[in-house]
Amino acid sequence: MSDSKRRDFLKATAGVAAGAALGGGSALWPADSAAAEYKLTPEKGAKLRLLRWKRFVEGDEKLWMENTKKFTEKTGIPVQVDNESWEDVRPKAAVAANIGSGPDLILGWLDDPFQYTDKLVDVTDLANYLGAKYGGWYDICRTYGMHGKRWMSIPVGIVGNAIVYRDSHVKAAGFDGIPKDSAGFLKLCQALKAKGTPAGFAFGHAVGDGNAWCNWLLWQQGGKLVDAHNNVVINSPETIAALEYAKEIYETFIPGTLSWGDPSNNKAFLGGQISLTANGISIYYVAKQSPDPQMKAMAEDIQHARFPIGPVGKPTEFNLFTQMMIFKYSKYPNAAREYLRFMMEGDQYNPWMKAAIGYVSQPLKAYAANPMWTDDPKATPYRDDAAVTLSDGYAGTLGYASAAVMADYVVVDMFASVVSGAKSPKDAAALAEKQALRYYKV
């Protein structure tokens, strides 16, 4: 960041943090000035191990490791970072929690912390410090990060999910852009298939893409897993309507989406097999960074849009939430807290978010002023993910049940069974109800 942009950014973050919409607070800079405000003494001889998900965007991992190296140089605390596939982080975290041994910190997903709330270090003081300094946490962060009145994790951000499409292909199909309503969206997908430039969305066990896409399918028709009182209500006319919609739109997809994991649609899009999907900004990032002229041309053609709105009449988006947790079995909880603080401070967080061109969007409101969100307008749709996303287990509260249902892919499998022809919508909804009731006990 140039000196002039840095000065502009400092003014912007200070202004945003002080705004009434953000609930007050201050966005101080540089982060080093805050070290005295939140002071911990790391344990003597401390060393840390972090388990985190593998990057989809090279800049994410590069800057994360550079920031980690800075932490070690400053504190003398070595940090081993283990990168695992998205699908493997959740079960490995659960195993570590159950056996009481493993990584000190986990960069994990969604409401996983609710599966082992009594095994996590309380990070309330740190969360309050960061919130007061950087304009406050978005509401969704409190939903995922807090158990009762205590913070059990530090939100790192939202791995946003938006509609990713080839603008020229959409126009060739007779549309100026992505329709604002789900009925029009179905017509667009039908037109794309007719043109030989089909869409493709994951119906496999994809932590990010499958969950995001299938929850939107359910919610946009008014269906939901549970009501506000955590009563299981998934077996409903609205769910049946969502399943019927899914059957229609699945017929327009490229073959093979029933087995797609998180990398699958990236590969299909960049390989020219599909021209529309739902994903983070990683597809655009890879095309933009490629030395291949054809990839560069594709990057110019790629656009992003928010999900259409269904008959329910309001946005019903679901985005992947990621947060860091410290297990109580760690011998170095203070060192782990200090690592979390360091990585979330502006001197580290803002360059990291910029390097990943917004693949992870901010959990702290002051960081919305980062100029990267408007320097490239194609990144802008991802900026407000934290403000618009619903949580899994909607419309109920988070807890062990919602985490378990998500981990078991109950909603994703319900849709997959219908679009594959294995079950009727009625039978699939009934089975999902039965599966959910195993966790949401009456």
Under a CB-based contact definition with an 8 Å cutoff, are residues 203 and 214 in contact?
A: yes
Among 320, 366, 325, smallest CA distance to 126 is for 325
Domains and CATH numbers, the chain: 23-160+319-388 (3.40.190.10), 162-318+408-437 (3.40.190.10)
Taking the chain (442 residues) in consecutive chunks of 10 residues, what is each chunk's mean pLDDT? 42 38 35 59 97 87 97 98 86 91 94 91 97 96 95 95 97 98 98 98 92 96 97 98 98 97 95 96 92 96 97 94 96 98 97 91 96 93 92 90 91 98 98 96 70
What pTM was estimated for this model as a whole?
Answer: 0.83
pLDDT at 23: 32
Q: What pLDDT sits at residue 12?
A: 39
The H or E element spanning position 193 is helix 182-194
pLDDT given at position 27: 39
pLDDT at 135: 96
Q: Give me the pLDDT at residue 71, please.
A: 98
pLDDT of residue 442: 57
